[in-house]
């Protein structure tokens, strides 16, 4: 094989990989529902908050940044708040835990 054939073979393989990744992310973005994202982070809240936490403690807001699709906010009866930022494909972008007594924000 000549150098030109090797270069075009490697370039073709790279472009095929990029196309597969792009199609996969597009499929995830097109089929992922907001309900699935909310349920995912509400269940994470239930595991972390422990006894007394309920799914009804959570609601979702639209993201305030272009790369944040949803912000799931959960607040327990003591006023402690969890905020989960979900990206365009449902991935976790940030978690904020806010304690109302000290107004401390832990990330």
Reported as a single tens digit per residue, the pLDDT across 22-57 is: 999 889 888 889 999 999 999 999 999 888 899 999
Residues in the chain: 107
Given a contact cutoff of 8 angstroms between Cβ atoms, the answer to whether 67 and 93 are in contact is yes
**Separation between Cα atoms, residue 77 and residue 66, nearest integer Å:** 32
Instruction: Report pTM.
Output: 0.76
* H-run or E-run covering 58: strand 58-62
For 8, residues 6+ apart whose C-beta sits below 8 A from its C-beta are none
């Amino acid at each position: 094989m000549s150098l030109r054939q090797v270069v075009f073979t490697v370039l073709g393989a790279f472009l095929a990989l990029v196309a597969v990744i792009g199609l996969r992310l597009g499929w995830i973005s097109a089929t992922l529902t907001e309900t699935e994202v909310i349920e995912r982070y509400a269940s994470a809240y239930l595991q972390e908050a422990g006894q007394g936490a309920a799914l009804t403690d959570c609601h979702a807001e639209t993201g305030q940044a272009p790369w944040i699709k949803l912000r799931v906010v959960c607040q327990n009866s003591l006023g402690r708040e969890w905020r989960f930022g979900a990206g365009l494909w449902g991935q976790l972008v940030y978690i904020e835990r806010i304690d109302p007594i000290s107004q401390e924000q832990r990330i």
